[in-house]
Structure 1
Amino acid sequence: MSDAESATDIEVPSDPLAGHAASAYFWGHVAGSGDVSDDGIEVVTNDEASAQVLAAVAGGDLEHDTTTRDYAHDTSITRTEEEYTLSIDSEDGDDAGLLGRSGALGLPVDGRGNYRFGAFSSYDRELLRGLLEGCGTICFKSSSGTVGISFVHDDADPLEFARELIADCPVDAPMGDLSETSSGGYWFGVDDDAAPAFGTWLYEDCEETGLFAPSRRRKLERSLEQAAAYDE
């Protein structure tokens, strides 16, 4: 069975706004790489299995494309990757509206586009995993033989929230300051010394729920293996 096929076999709440691990993962992705308006929700991922999970949680339509974009830290570098876009439209003329709400303000988003995540406070790891997969990067740094974990977003607010979640997580994970990118957005990184323990904790036991992007976990595992081999 492929990752995409097994991804839909997960426990999902009857309400995608309920306090639940799956809804926390979904809204982490939306905050990391999505957009919410009265017309609907759109969220983008480059992992097919993760896209299937998000669709299982909240419904909607999936589209697949291949895109080329500038690398966030250095706009002189481009990368081509698979892209899966989940679109959840508001039902015009339907009292149910968007996810059973009359508009975007019925979702965990305020009038300024800020996210309210109080309902998911018991599922910080899934929420943070969704954020990382939505706007984060994992890499092996060949120059230092270390693993790098960073978060990049056009808006500083989701990154400030991610920093709060990391500061409160059970693993000691110091972070660098929030800085501007060359493309006009913002980013921060977990200290390299703390990245292996933080990444391992973030994906620990994720197989039990299915709430993860297999390609992102594989990237973490390969990076950890490369770092271990570098030290030998």
Structure 2
Amino acid sequence: MSDTEEGAATPAPATDLLAASPATAYFWGRVAGDGDLSRNSVTVRAGDDTAADALAAVAGANRTDHRVAARESAHDASIVRYEDEYELQVIGAPAERASAALGLPIDGQAGGYRFDAFADHRAPLVRGLLEACGTVCFRESAGRVGISFVHDDERLLETVRSLLDAADPHVPTDDLAKSSSGGYWFGLADDADVAGFAQWVYAGSDVSGLYSENRRRKLRRSVERATGGDVGELSG
């Protein structure tokens, strides 16, 4: 791996996108949370160039299509934010293979979400899901960090809850609920060790280069506000 000017490592291309590794776990977590499969292509979106470069490197593809996209707030559809969005498309066989192996939806069909192949790479898988369909905020009134996952497909969110339940350290979650935007969401429970979760989910991210700089920074700063301490770069 080589380092970019910003200091983030560049992941090596995956020789097989369906072979289990930290890089492919992160890649398919991002696809499941904010991507699409068709018979001929895999599309995945990212919100900053660090993540977009990492995804392109893993897929062995060129990054394309940077735009500013309007996004409704996950919990309040009346709030619209304008954010950077990078879209990467991988053409070819991986889409149908991924749908069959991982249970990802394809061409609008329902998905089953089978991530057992990534059992040894749970943290980068959850990191990809968190960055793709998760939200992080600091709750001023409670002095706590709020972390939630939001998606239109409740089956995906139930799968994420199962991944967190089986994580080490265990991450307790609230029940699934409907969001104002018409989808579903759940949050980490109030008794969850958010600082421990943050350290776990981003462990090794500097070395691997598999992360969104914006999302990692926001989580780090939120945890530091809540704990009053320095948690470093969440990459150890």
2:234 is matched with none
Which deviations, in whole Å up to 9, do the C-alpha atoms of 1:170-212 show, x marking residues without a partner? 1232111000001110000002442222122111222121111
Give, as a single letter, the amino acid of the residue that structure 1 aligns with 2:42.
Answer: I
Counterpart mapping for 1:71-220 below 5 A: 71-90=73-92, 98-99=93-94, 105=99, 108-109=102-103, 112-194=110-192, 195-220=194-219
Shift of 1:134: 0.7
Distance change >3 Å, CA 228–CA 6, structure 1 → 2: closer
Distance between the aligned counterparts of 2:124 and 2:75, measured in 1? 26
Give the match for residue 19 of structure 2.
18
Q: Tell me, in whole angstroms, the C-alpha distance in 1 between the residues paired with 2:219 and 2:100.
A: 36
TM-superposition CA deviations, 1:44-68 (whole Å, max 9, x none):
1102111111111113442100012
Taking structure 1 as reference, are residues 84 and 68 closer, same or farther at Cα in structure 2, changes over 3 Å only?
same
**Pairwise CA distance, 1:105:** 4.6
TM-score when normalising by structure 1: 0.87
Q: What 5-or-longer segments of structure 2 have no aligned partner?
A: 230-236
Aligned residues: 220
TM value normalised by structure 2:
0.85
For residues 15-74 of structure 1, what are the alpha-carbon distances to aligned partners after superposition, in whole Å with 9 as ceiling and x for unaligned? 111011100100000000011110311111102111111111113442100012211200
Instruction: Kindly provide the CA deviation profile for residues 123-181 of structure 1, in whole angstroms up to 9, marking residues without a partner as x.
Output: 11111111101100111111111111110001011111111110011123211100000
Distance between the aligned counterparts of 1:37 and 1:116, measured in 2?
18
Percent sequence identity is: 45
Distance 2:98 2:163 in 1: 24
Return closer, same or farther for 1:89/1:213 CA change in 2, 3 Å cut-off: same
* Residue number in structure 1 paired with 2:233: none
**Contact 1:147–1:192 (8 Å) recurs in 2:** no
Cα deviations across residues 93-119 of structure 1 (Å, max 9, x unaligned)? xxxxx23x7766555336633333232
Looking at structure 1, the residues matched to 177 and 116 of structure 2 have their Cα atoms a distance apart, in angstroms, of 27
C-alpha change, 1:106 and 1:86, in structure 2 (3 Å) is same
Local SS of the residue matching 1:43: strand
What secondary structure, in the 3-state scheme, does the structure 1 residue paired with 2:121 have?
Answer: helix
Measure the CA separation in 1 of the matches of 2:165 and 2:41.
32
Over 3 Å counting, the alpha-carbon distance change for 1:106 and 1:171 in structure 2 is closer
RMSD value, Cα: 2.1
CA contact (8 A) 1:36 1:42 kept: yes
Report the counterpart of residue 93 of structure 1 in structure 2.
none
SS at match of 1:211: coil
Where 2:102 maps in the other structure, the secondary structure is coil
Residue 50 of structure 1 aligns to which amino acid in structure 2? A
> Letter of the aligned partner of 2:34 in structure 1?
S
Q: 2:127 corresponds to which letter in structure 1?
A: R
Structure 1, unpaired ranges of 5+: 91-97
User: What SS class does the counterpart of residue 81 from structure 1 fall into?
Assistant: strand
Contact 1:12 1:23 in 2 (8 A): no
Question: 1:37, 1:104 within 8 Å by CA — same for their partners in 2?
Answer: no
Whole-angstrom CA distance in 1 between matches of 2:135 and 2:71:
15
